[in-house]
Amino acid sequence: MRIGMLTSGGDCQALNAAMRGVVKGLEENVKQLEVYGFLNGYKGLIYGNYRLLTSTDFSGILTKGGTILGSSRQPFKYMRDPDENGLNKVEAMKSNYYKLNLDCLVILGGNGTQKTANLLREEGLNVIHLPKTIDNDIYGTDITFGFYSAVNVASAAIDCIHTTAASHNRVFIVEVMGHKVGWLTLYAGVASGADIILLPEIPYDDKKILNAIRKRQESGKGFTILAVAEGAISKEDAKLSKKELKKKLAKEPYPSVSYKIAEMITKELGSEARVTVPGHTQRGGTPCPYDRVLCTRLGSAAAKAIMDKKYGNMVAMIDGDTKLVPLEEVAGKLKGVDPDCKMIKEAKRIGISFGD
């Protein structure tokens, strides 16, 4: 058996653990196995940059963050466009797949990666997709690997802010990753006792934010913690078209929405407001135990799918079980936070404000 593997898009803590799960699952059950790793995501598949991997490559990587294969972002919308030298990228990927006589290509990545995986399926290649993203926004699976590890990092950042916020009676804003969805901000905010949580799915009202801070101040609480997704948006801006919003943001002097909110708080309340951005630390470090277990299970299930020749699927985690979901049913779909979900209602019940 000959399989190819690649990791594409933004990195996360558990990519190595997932690859290890796939390879160990195959090694234990296949007499002859060759694994080819394409370097730096789809770029390696396009330009034929790969190497033959051995058991040694997958030894000791369960707890190692990042990816031993490297990664890169290759936007799906440009995949059918020739590169700067006129190379047909789709045909090049197919050519390298067939040149190595692969039985299957295992692809680890998020939404954009998944759409290209589905494209390759449509082009006749045998593919299996494993859902990776710290955003937990892949449709068709309850959880993505990398998510809980990132929650740990974001939560730790908010935890640390609590002590300095309390010491100086300040308003602190911790900006959490998440342009389009707010799963990471929601979980980290609740886990760390944030007083206000702002998500892309729930447009905020400046007055509601100010009222929530005033309420804490009037009750004798001198500090307030806001967990803000980088894609958080005001009710005013949510009414604009994408083009109008882009034009408006280009004229604003703020590095991100958090700085805009901080200035508003200082101006309206006279309170010191500080912004902390954990940034790419949320993608780094050691995968948490939950992700190691999740990746081992998903990897093992992917190995079984390959041996059973059930190609063209994403290996998902649904209701605690690993299941195969057809790529054609999930590619291109986004799983956002439902503003009316139980978790939001439960958070509001204990006094957390969502700015709405």
Domain ranges of the chain: 2-146+287-330, 150-283
pLDDT interval class at 350 (50, 70, 90) = very high
Residues near 27 by beta carbon (within 8 Å), at least 6 away in sequence: 33, 55
pLDDT in tens, 35-52: 999 999 999 999 999 999
Architecture of the 150-283 domain: 3-Layer(aba) Sandwich (3.40)
* Orientation of helix 183-191 relative to helix 147-168, angle to 10°: 50
Q: Point out the catalytic residue in the list 57, 135, 195, 291.
A: 135
Q: Do the two domains 2-146+287-330 and 150-283 of this chain adopt the same fold? A: yes
Residues near 268 by beta carbon (within 8 Å), at least 6 away in sequence: 206, 210
CATH of 2-146+287-330, one of 2.50.20.10, 3.40.50.450, 3.30.60.50, 1.10.630.10: 3.40.50.450
- Would the pLDDT of 26 be above 90? yes
- Would the pLDDT of 118 be above 90? yes
Question: What is residue 249's predicted lDDT score, i.e. its pLDDT?
Answer: 87
Question: What is residue 167's predicted lDDT score, i.e. its pLDDT?
Answer: 81
pLDDT in tens, 42-93: 999 999 999 999 999 999 999 999 999 999 888 899 999 999 999 999 999 9
- Would the pLDDT of 270 be above 90? no
Task: Compute the Cα dihedral for 288, 294, 298, 301 and give only its sign.
Answer: positive
pLDDT in tens, 224-254: 999 999 999 999 999 999 889 888 888 889 9
| CB contact at 8 A, 336 and 180 | yes
Quote the pTM value: 0.94
237 given a catalytic annotation: no
Cβ atoms within 10 Å, residue 340: 7
